Amino acid sequence: MRDGAALFHCGGNPARLIRKRFDDDLIEYLLKLKWWDGPNVLMHWA
C-alpha cells in the first residue's frame, strides 16, 4: 500500500487497509491541495 498511505491506517504483512483516517470529501480535498508541492514552511509543523 504505497499510494495514499498517509490517508489510511494500514497494517499487517503484506500491508492492508484497516480504515480511513478522513472522510471521502476531505481525502479528495487533500489530494487536490497537493500540499507537498507547497513551500517548506508546511513541513516544519510535522
The 3-state DSSP class for residue 44 equals helix
Place of cell 507547497: 38
Q: Residue 46: what pLDDT?
A: 52
pLDDT, tens only, 1-46:
455 567 888 888 988 888 998 999 988 888 888 877 777 655 555 5
Q: Residue 45: what pLDDT?
A: 55
Give the 3-state secondary structure percentages of the chain, helix then strand then coil, rounded to 5.
Answer: 50, 20, 35
In a domain, 32, yes or no: yes
- Structurally, the chain folds into a number of domains equal to 1
In a domain, 45, yes or no: no
Which long-range CB contacts under 8 A does 16-22 form with residues at least 24 apart? Answer: none
Q: Residue 37: what pLDDT?
A: 77
Q: Residue 1: what pLDDT?
A: 45
Helices of type H across the chain: 24-33
In a domain, 43, yes or no: no
The 3-state DSSP class for residue 4 equals coil
In a domain, 15, yes or no: yes
